[in-house]
C-alpha cells in the first residue's frame, strides 16, 4: 500500500502571513517534504492557489507534483496538465487586474495579485470598514469586463479570487493526479490524504470523503474534512510521524 499526500501550502505547510511574498517554507518543513518525496511508501502533491511558478520557487523540491492556480496548472512526475479556458478569458482577466489595481490602489494594505490564469485581491491588511467597498468593486469590475459568465469570484481567507468560470477545482485536480498515479502503479493500493486549511480545500475534502483521509488545518468550522490539526506545526509533526510508523 502507498499513501498519496495532497498538501495545501499557505496556512497548511506555512503559517498565514501578512502578504503572500513573505510566506517562507521552514527548513524543517522542507526537510520533511524532501524525505517524503524520496520515501518508497509516499507520493506528494502540493495544491495551492498560488501560480505554479511561484509555488515551485517557494518549495524547490524535485520528484513531487505541483498544482498551481487551484489545480488549473499541474506539473510533475507522470503528469502535465493545463485547464482549457474559453477564448476571451485571458484578456478579460488582464483587464480586471489592471482596473482593480487602478481603483483599489489607494486603500492602505490592499494587494492585487495577477497569477496569470487568476487574479487575487488580498485584504488581510485592510481596515474592516473597507471590505464592503472592496467586495463591491471586485464584483462590479468582474461583471463589466467579463461578459457571458467568463469569470467567477470565489472567497478565501481574506481574499477574493477571480477565476475562469469552468467546472474545475482542487478536488477534481487531486482526483486527476491520483488517477494518473494509480494507472502507472497498476494493482498497488493507494490511499489519498488531503490536508488543507482554506474554503477552497473543501472541494477536495468532499471528493475524498468516502475513499480517503481528509484533514482540516485551523479552528473548527463546518467542513467535509474528517479530522483536524490546529496549525502548520502540527501538520509537520503529523507528516514526520507517519514516516516513522511506516
**Which residues are CB-contacts of 135 (< 8 A; sequence separation ≥ 6)?**
160
d(CA 180, CA 177): 5
3-state secondary structure the chain: CEEEEEECCECCCECCCCCHHHCCCCHHHHHHHHHHHHCCCEEEEEECCCCHHHHHHHHCCCCCEEEEHHHCEEEECCEEEECCCCCCHHHHHHHHHHHHHHHHCCCCCCEEEECCCCEEEECCCCCHHHHHHHHHHHHHHHHHHCHHHCEEEEEECCEEEEEECCCCCHHHHHHHHHHHHHHHHCCCCEEEEEEECCHHHHHHHHHCCCCCEEEEECCCCCCCCCEEECCHHHHHHHHHHHHHHC
Of 8, 10, 198, 203, which residue is the catalytic one? 8
8 catalytic residue (yes or no) = yes
Q: What are the φ/ψ torsions at residue 83 (nearest 5 degrees)?
A: -60, 140
Residues identified as active-site: 8
Amino acid at each position: 500500500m502507498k499513501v498519496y499526500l495532497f498538501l495545501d501550502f499557505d496556512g497548511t505547510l506555512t503559517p498565514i502571513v501578512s502578504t503572500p511574498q513573505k510566506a517562507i517554507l521552514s527548513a524543517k518543513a522542507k526537510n520533511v517534504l524532501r524525505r517524503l518525496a524520496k520515501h518508497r511508501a509516499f507520493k506528494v502533491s502540493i495544491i495551492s492557489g498560488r501560480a505554479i511558478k511561484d509555488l515551485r520557487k517557494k518549495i524547490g523540491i524535485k520528484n513531487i507534483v505541483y498544482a498551481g492556480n487551484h489545480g488549473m496548472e499541474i506539473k510533475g512526475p507522470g503528469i502535465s496538465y493545463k485547464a482549457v479556458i474559453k477564448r476571451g478569458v485571458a484578456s478579460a482577466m488582464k483587464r480586471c487586474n489592471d482596473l482593480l489595481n487602478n481603483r483599489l490602489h489607494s486603500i492602505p494594505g490592499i494587494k492585487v495579485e495577477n497569477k496569470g490564469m487568476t487574479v487575487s485581491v488580498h485584504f488581510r491588511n485592510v481596515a474592516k470598514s473597507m471590505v464592503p467597498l472592496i467586495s463591491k468593486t471586485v464584483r462590479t469590475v468582474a461583471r463589466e469586463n467579463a461578459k457571458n459568465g467568463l469569470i467567477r469570484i470565489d472567497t478565501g481567507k481574506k481574499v477574493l479570487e477571480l477565476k475562469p468560470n469552468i467546472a474545475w477545482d482542487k478536488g477534481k485536480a487531486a482526483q486527476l493526479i491520483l488517477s494518473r498515479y494509480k494507472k502507472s502503479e497498476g494493482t498497488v493500493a493507494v490511499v489519498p490524504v488531503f490536508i488543507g486549511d482554506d474554503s477552497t480545500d473543501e472541494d477536495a475534502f468532499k471528493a475524498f470523503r468516502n475513499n480517503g483521509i481528509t484533514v482540516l488545518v485551523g479552528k473548527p468550522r463546518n467542513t467535509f474534512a474528517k479530522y483536524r490539526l490546529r496549525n502548520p506545526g502540527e501538520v509537520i509533526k503529523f507528516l514526520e510521524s507517519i514516516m516513522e510508523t511506516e
